[in-house]
Structure 1
Amino acid sequence: MSQCAAFIVHLNSSHRHQYYIETKNPPLSLSLSPPYSCSFRLLLSDMNPRRPNSPPTTSLKLIVYVTIIIFLVLTSLSMILGKFYSIAAWNHRNPNLHRRPAAGCAVPEYKRRLIGDLEPLIAEEPTEVWEGLGKQEKNIKYLPTMSDLRRKNRLIYIDVGARDYESSIGSWFEKQYPKQNRSFEIYAVEADRRFHGEYRSKEGVALLPYAAWIRNETVVFGSKPIVVGKKVWRMRPFGRIEGAGEERDGVSAVERVAAFDFVDWLKTVVRPAAEDFVVVKMDVEGTEIKLIEDMVRRGAICLVDELFMECHFDRYVKCCSGQRINRFNYSYDQCYTLFSGLREMGVVVHQWW
């Protein structure tokens, strides 16, 4: 027994136990009955199969692996939440943009299927000058190139924020929009009196000399100055409904004009049961957010078959490196979220610049 190094006890159902003696020589085995006359260390192998004093490496490795995984998950979540925090906060302030349209506003199934065939939205804010990009973009997938207009009754084009005739009606819609040899009724919505005279001589174009809005009222219309650093640009009145504060600040170029309830008017003109086909271009210098909210809330968004919209945001300016204008209080990420939300509703919408 002097050669004993360790006794490994295997418990049997009987009173006798089999012991295996680990020695320097080839292993020996013997049978003994308690009580034992030899002093030795019992290792209950059925309870702890490891050799004595062996470190718990498996448990330590498991703890390390779990800690690393938790760290990576938390880091990823932190990055994602940091990226989308401002978007989520903006969505909270504009809940009507990300819910289903009002009851009775049904989007045809064929239009939902066509959403996936549209040109992809531009996810990253471009840094180059965008002037005219939307009107010349060759990748735009116009709805009439994917569907047949022959079954449609009336074809209607509504230019909200039309400005002068050549701004978009003459230069883009008349020349580039595919019409399948059909004629459109054209409505120009423009509150700026400087452009009204031109439309009197344009046959086939009905002028609505008011500001498109969410109710019938008189509004402050024009533009507050663009301020970048120490530079201030005063703008002439155009395209934007401002607040009463801009009327009193002494620097904004504003005037009072009549505004009309765009949704009420749209529901009067468009007849869904008659299979009217409606195209809307909307460029209203930031007022589009309120108008789209109202159209979704009141179920009028489904009256529009195809929407071309400029979402205005505070862009970088060429004059001052790293500086943005402070006119709209919207970011490009918020505009992208708006376009994405509309497409998820089934609205055929395109980014317009």
Structure 2
Amino acid sequence: LVFQDLANEGLWKSTKDKSIIVSDTKEQVIEATNKVEFTLTLSPSDTKYKSIHNDTFDFSYTDCFGRAIEGFLDRTLKIGGVMAVQLSRDPAMAFEGPPNYKIVYFRKCNNSTFIAMRKVAYANTMSSRSASQRKLLQFFSEEKKAVLGNLEDVLLEPPRSATGKSKTYLRKTKFLPDLLNDSLEGYSRRVYIDVGGGHGSTRWFEQNYPTRNKDFDMYRIETVPETEVESDDAWEGPPTQMGISDWLWRNVKAEEYVVMKADAEVVEEMLKSKAIALVDELFLECKPIGKGGSSKRAYWECLALYGRLRDFGVAVHQWWG
């Protein structure tokens, strides 16, 4: 299923790509791909590694990711190539993606977690493991679970008004920089994105978020194509016709620190496209039936979406502004 999914996403062209598998169970992997003929299959103990030239493959897959395997796969993968990894279930084997890669795929299947990363540069052109390695979604370990477990409790029923319990809830918000004790210094850029909202959330962000006195680039994105985004010198925005996921892939990088406020429909699109992997911290606006707007969601559906985001590894908060 995972290989078919990668093919459907355009990340693996089974009949065109030069592909390699490194696995202790390579026969089972090949069986799972409907016996597609890979260019090369190796076991971790194979002796052929040194004989393979640099920049040979378009696609690589491994279920035994480690420093030695990482170095070999990185050396032999072309720029723009995709490395797919089945992550270890051992908490001691926390995954740290190489800094010259960008995560483009995430999926859980049969109690296993798979990611795919696109090679965007040669390793020697990147600095040492940087802020991109601190992005929460790149930690699949007990540490990540502990961080998410320290977020504020979800409200099991919506507040009666935006001026009462909702403000109390926002005051109790446990922000990601505080939970990680992160100075926010190591990122190439810090970004706040307000999708579909006015200036209210921006003012709240500026007054309450622990920015550590660092500058954030601010974006307000209107999701309705017919609506013209109001001009404001303090804001930049994408063309309204572009989907939010496409815009994120084009304008946000893994090594940047990204905070976003968005409604449920936008977030569901980002989950489907995996663009949610670019967001460090999310404020989820999900108004149930009877709480304004045109939403047809029951509140339990909002809670279910919140749970999916937590399962995915997103530091998510409810937004009641």
Q: TM-score if structure 1 supplies the norm length?
A: 0.47
Per-residue deviation, residues 239-258 of structure 1 (Å, max 9, x unmatched): xxxxxxxxxxxxxxxxxxxx
- Residue in 1 that maps onto 2:208: 176
- Residue in 2 that maps onto 1:207: 237
- Provide the C-alpha distance between the structure 1 equivalents of 2:166 and 2:312, rounded to a whole number of angstroms: 22
2:174 to 121, 124, 141: 141
Per-residue deviation, residues 282-335 of structure 1 (Å, max 9, x unmatched): 14xxxx33x32332222211110000011121026xxxxxxxx79322101111
Which has the greater radius of gyration?
1
Contact between 1:135 and 1:352, CA under 8 Å: does it hold in 2? no
- Residue in 1 that maps onto 2:250: 268
Inter-CA distance 119–260: structure 2 relative to 1 (3 Å threshold)? same
Give the secondary structure class of the aligned counterpart of 1:114: helix
- Residue in 2 that maps onto 1:104: 116
Per-residue deviation, residues 125-150 of structure 1 (Å, max 9, x unmatched): 44x22347556522100111122122
RMSD: 2.9
1:280-291 aligned within 5 A: 280-283=260-263, 288-289=264-265, 291=266
> Which ranges of structure 1 fall in alignment gaps of 5 or more residues?
1-97, 211-258, 317-324
- Provide the C-alpha distance between the structure 2 equivalents of 1:143 and 1:310, rounded to a whole number of angstroms: 18
- Provide the C-alpha distance between the structure 2 equivalents of 1:104 and 1:132, rounded to a whole number of angstroms: 43
- Residue in 1 that maps onto 2:308: 341
**Are 2:105 and 1:130 equivalent residues in the alignment?**
no
Higher relative contact order (CA 8 A, sep 6+): 1
The Cα of 1:177 is off from its aligned counterpart by 1.0
Aligned length in residues: 186
The Cα of 1:207 is off from its aligned counterpart by 3.0
- Provide the C-alpha distance between the structure 1 equivalents of 2:194 and 2:293, rounded to a whole number of angstroms: 26
Inter-CA distance 264–193: structure 2 relative to 1 (3 Å threshold)? closer
1:166-315 aligned within 5 A: 167-169=200-202, 171-190=203-222, 191=224, 193=227, 196-197=230-231, 199=232, 202-203=233-234, 205-208=235-238, 210=240, 259-272=241-254, 275-283=255-263, 288-289=264-265, 291-315=266-290
The percentage of aligned residue pairs carrying the same residue is 34
- Structure 2 residue identity aligned to 1:278: V
The Cα of 1:158 is off from its aligned counterpart by 0.6
- Residue in 2 that maps onto 1:152: 187
- Provide the C-alpha distance between the structure 2 equivalents of 1:207 and 1:134, rounded to a whole number of angstroms: 28
- Structure 1 residue identity aligned to 2:171: K
1:121 to 147, 154, 160: 154
- Residue in 2 that maps onto 1:40: none
- Residue in 1 that maps onto 2:319: 352
Q: TM-score if structure 2 supplies the norm length?
A: 0.51
- Residue in 2 that maps onto 1:3: none
The Cα of 1:195 is off from its aligned counterpart by 5.8
Per-residue deviation, residues 97-153 of structure 1 (Å, max 9, x unmatched): x96787327532444431000001111344x22347556522100111122122222
1:323-342 aligned within 5 A: 327-342=294-309
Per-residue deviation, residues 220-262 of structure 1 (Å, max 9, x unmatched): xxxxxxxxxxxxxxxxxxxxxxxxxxxxxxxxxxxxxxx3121
The Cα of 1:194 is off from its aligned counterpart by 7.1
